[in-house]
């Protein structure tokens, strides 16, 4: 049964690629049939369609990049081509010339594809800063205010690379926060592109008075050990909280939870043993599940990512149905939860219906 699932998925993918490829061929084919054109067209489609799978399996940089952009085009064409096809069928019942309507449907589809691609890439690489104002009981803490800059899902790798990391550092330092939090998915499944591009050196320029802290997410993994990932981050001056709590200068407590996909993840209540509950408690939890558990554990603020806010429409409708809070702000009793759509992206550098972002949380203590 397990073997059947990938076989069915490949057959479905192949069928969809064939449908899109056939419609494209009918639009592009020359007036006089050309065997050479047909062979070339099939070669290009097969290369593009297989690049994402082969690139991921082989680790070949060129194929990974081609595959990422192909998946962006493929997703958009899945939405646009059937719409164009239906339009052409409907227009057959008019007096408009059949060949003309097919050509114009192709041009409009191409124009929309390029427009959505440009818009989606702009959203992926042009982060905005979202601000939240919250109030927390200070208890025995001496703090009156804490400015937190937060970014998750950077997915540093081939396409979310050194330039995007420099963009993050520039934006973070410009905000002049008291502390920087990075709740998971800093890598894109492999630490090597991160090291090859010396992104660790870039991130080392990110500073805040109380420090930079991170937890790990479901994509923070590779063929080596977790310790190699943690070491790479700590070389960047980032403190990784891996199922542990740390007291920050006697003023508040940070708790970093392992990702829920980690089989060795501890219960939150176990990590909270010995924590001073008279001071504010901030939890880095990559996936925004189990809000009730965090609320009952007396967490004051929980910051998360993971959802990407669906990344590409209509993905946001799906994440909204899955998570109690898939993006933005939600309060449960005393606990504030904030979920970011992420600074990077997974797969294609495309965001439609979401935007790359940094979150600024201004906390007032009462």
338 and 303 Cβ atoms separated by less than 8 Å = yes
**Boundary of a domain, candidates 75, 105, 124:** 124
* Residue 27: band (very low, low, confident or very high) from pLDDT cuts 50, 70, 90: confident
Residue 266 has pLDDT above 90, yes or no: yes
Residues 49 and 195 in one domain: no
Give 65: exposed, middle or buried? Use CB within 10 Å, 0-12, 13-18, 19+: middle
* Residue 138: band (very low, low, confident or very high) from pLDDT cuts 50, 70, 90: very high
For residue 252, the domain's CATH number is: 3.60.21.10
Residues 334 and 315 in one domain: yes
Residues 293 and 341 in one domain: yes
Residue 331 has pLDDT above 90, yes or no: yes
Residues 17 and 51 in one domain: yes
Mean predicted confidence (pLDDT) in 283-301: 97
What's the structural domain count of the chain?
Answer: 2
Per-residue model confidence (pLDDT) at position 33: 63
Per-residue model confidence (pLDDT) at position 323: 97
Nearest-Å Rg of the Cα atoms of the chain is 24
According to DSSP, the β-strands at 357-365 and 145-150 are: antiparallel
**Which residue range is the domain that position 89 belongs to?**
4-124
Residues 87 and 215 in one domain: no
* Residue 218: band (very low, low, confident or very high) from pLDDT cuts 50, 70, 90: very high
Cα dihedral across residues 123, 124, 126, 128: positive or negative: positive
Distance of alpha carbon 265 from the chain centroid: 22
Residues 69 and 140 in one domain: no
For residues 201 and 198, what is the distance between their CA atoms, to the nearest angstrom?
5
Distance of alpha carbon 219 from the chain centroid: 10
Q: Which of 208, 119, 168, 166 is nearest to 340 (CA)?
A: 168
Residues 181 and 61 in one domain: no
Per-residue model confidence (pLDDT) at position 288: 98
Residues 171 and 117 in one domain: no
**Boundary of a domain, candidates 72, 96, 124:** 124
Dump pLDDT digits (tens) for 146-182: 999 999 999 999 899 999 999 999 999 999 999 999 9
Alpha-carbon distance values, 251 to 147, 170, 284, 296, 337 (Å): 14, 27, 17, 21, 20
* Residue 32: band (very low, low, confident or very high) from pLDDT cuts 50, 70, 90: low
**Boundary of a domain, candidates 96, 124, 152:** 124
* Residue 37: band (very low, low, confident or very high) from pLDDT cuts 50, 70, 90: confident
Residues 99 and 136 in one domain: no
Q: Which of 134, 161, 131 is nearest to 145 (CA)?
A: 134
Give phi and psi for 103, each to the nearest 5.
-65, -45
Asked which of 71-75, 224-228, 281-285, 356-360 is least confident by mean pLDDT, the reply is 224-228
* Residue 1: band (very low, low, confident or very high) from pLDDT cuts 50, 70, 90: low
Helix axes 61-91, 98-125, angle to 10 degrees: 140
Give 31: exposed, middle or buried? Use CB within 10 Å, 0-12, 13-18, 19+: exposed
Per-residue model confidence (pLDDT) at position 2: 66
209 and 179 Cβ atoms separated by less than 8 Å = yes
Dump pLDDT digits (tens) for 51-67: 988 887 777 888 888 99
Residues 105 and 201 in one domain: no
* Residue 41: band (very low, low, confident or very high) from pLDDT cuts 50, 70, 90: very high
For residues 302 and 295, what is the distance between their CA atoms, to the nearest angstrom?
9
Identify the residue whose tokens are 């991130």: 203
Mean predicted confidence (pLDDT) in 276-293: 96
Residues 226 and 321 in one domain: yes
Residues 272 and 340 in one domain: yes
* Residue 118: band (very low, low, confident or very high) from pLDDT cuts 50, 70, 90: very high
């Amino acid at each position: 049964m397990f073997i059947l699932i990938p076989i069915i998925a490949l057959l479905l993918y192949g069928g969809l690629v064939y449908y899109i490829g056939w419609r494209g061929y009918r639009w592009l084919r020359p007036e006089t049939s050309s065997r050479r054109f047909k062979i070339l067209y099939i070669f290009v489609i097969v290369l593009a369609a297989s690049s994402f799978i082969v690139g991921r399996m082989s680790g070949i940089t060129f194929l990974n990049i081609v595959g990422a952009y192909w998946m962006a085009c493929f997703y958009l064409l899945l939405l646009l081509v059937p719409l164009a096809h239906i339009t052409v069928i409907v227009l057959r019942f008019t007096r408009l010339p059949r060949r003309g309507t097919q050509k114009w449907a192709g041009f409009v589809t191409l124009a929309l594809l390029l427009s959505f691609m440009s818009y989606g890439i702009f959203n992926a690489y042009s982060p905005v800063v979202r601000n939240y104002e919250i109030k927390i009981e200070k208890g025995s803490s001496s703090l009156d205010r804490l400015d937190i800059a937060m970014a998750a899902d950077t997915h540093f790798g081939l396409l979310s690379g050194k330039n995007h990391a420099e963009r993050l550092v520039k934006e973070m330092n410009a905000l002049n926060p008291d502390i920087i939090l990075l709740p998971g998915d800093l890598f894109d499944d492999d630490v090597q592109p991160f090291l090859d591009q010396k992104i660790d050196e870039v991130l080392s320029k990110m500073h805040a008075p109380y420090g930079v802290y991170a937890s790990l997410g479901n994509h923070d993994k590779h063929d080596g050990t977790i310790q190699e990932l943690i070491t790479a981050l700590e070389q960047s001056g980032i403190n990784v909280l891996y199922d542990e709590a740390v007291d920050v200068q006697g003023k508040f407590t940070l708790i970093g939870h392992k990702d829920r996909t980690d089989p060795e993840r501890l219960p939150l209540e176990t990590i909270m043993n010995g924590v001073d509950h008279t001071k504010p408690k901030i939890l880095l939890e990559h996936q925004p599940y189990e809000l009730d558990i965090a609320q009952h554990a007396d967490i004051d603020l929980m910051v998360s990512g993971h959802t990407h806010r669906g990344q590409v429409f209509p993905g946001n409708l799906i994440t909204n149905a899955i998570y109690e809070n898939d993006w933005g702000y939600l309060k449960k009793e005393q606990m504030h939860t904030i979920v970011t759509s992420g600074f990077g992206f997974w797969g294609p550098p495309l965001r439609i219906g979401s935007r790359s972002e940094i979150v600024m949380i201004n906390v007032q203590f009462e």
